[in-house]
Amino acid sequence: MTLNARPSDTALAAHDRIYRGLRQQIMHGEMKPGQALTLRGLGKAYGVSMTPAREALRRLVAEGALMLSSSGRVATPELSQERIEELAALRALIEPELASRALPRAHLALIDRLSAINTANAEAVAKHDAVAYVRSNLEFHRTLYLRAQAPAMLAIIETVWLQLGPTMAALYSRIAHNEPPRHHRLILAALRAGDEPGLRLAVRTDVTQGLRHLAG
Percent of residues, the chain, with pLDDT higher than 90: 61
**CATH number, position 136:** 1.20.120.530
61 and 161 inside one domain: no
pLDDT at 62: 93
Q: What is the mean pLDDT of residues 82-87?
A: 90
71 and 94 inside one domain: no
The mean-pLDDT minimum among 39-43, 92-96, 100-104, 115-119 falls in 39-43
90 and 42 inside one domain: no
- d(CA 141, CA 198) in angstroms, rounded, equals 16
**Does residue 169 belong to any structural domain of this protein?**
yes
- Our count of domains for the chain comes to 2
Whether the pLDDT of residue 6 is over 80: the answer is no
pLDDT at 9: 47
Q: pTM for the whole thing?
A: 0.86
Count the helix, strand and coil residues of the chain and give each as a percent rounded to the nearest 5: 75, 5, 25
pLDDT at 199: 98
CA distances from 89 to 113, 115, 211 (A): 27, 26, 10
Q: What is the mean pLDDT of residues 45-73?
A: 90
169 and 192 inside one domain: yes
18 and 64 inside one domain: yes
| 144 three-class SS | helix
**Chain mean pLDDT for the chain:** 88
150 and 128 inside one domain: yes
**Does residue 4 belong to any structural domain of this protein?**
no
47 and 140 inside one domain: no
Helix axes 151-173, 12-27, angle to 10 degrees: 60
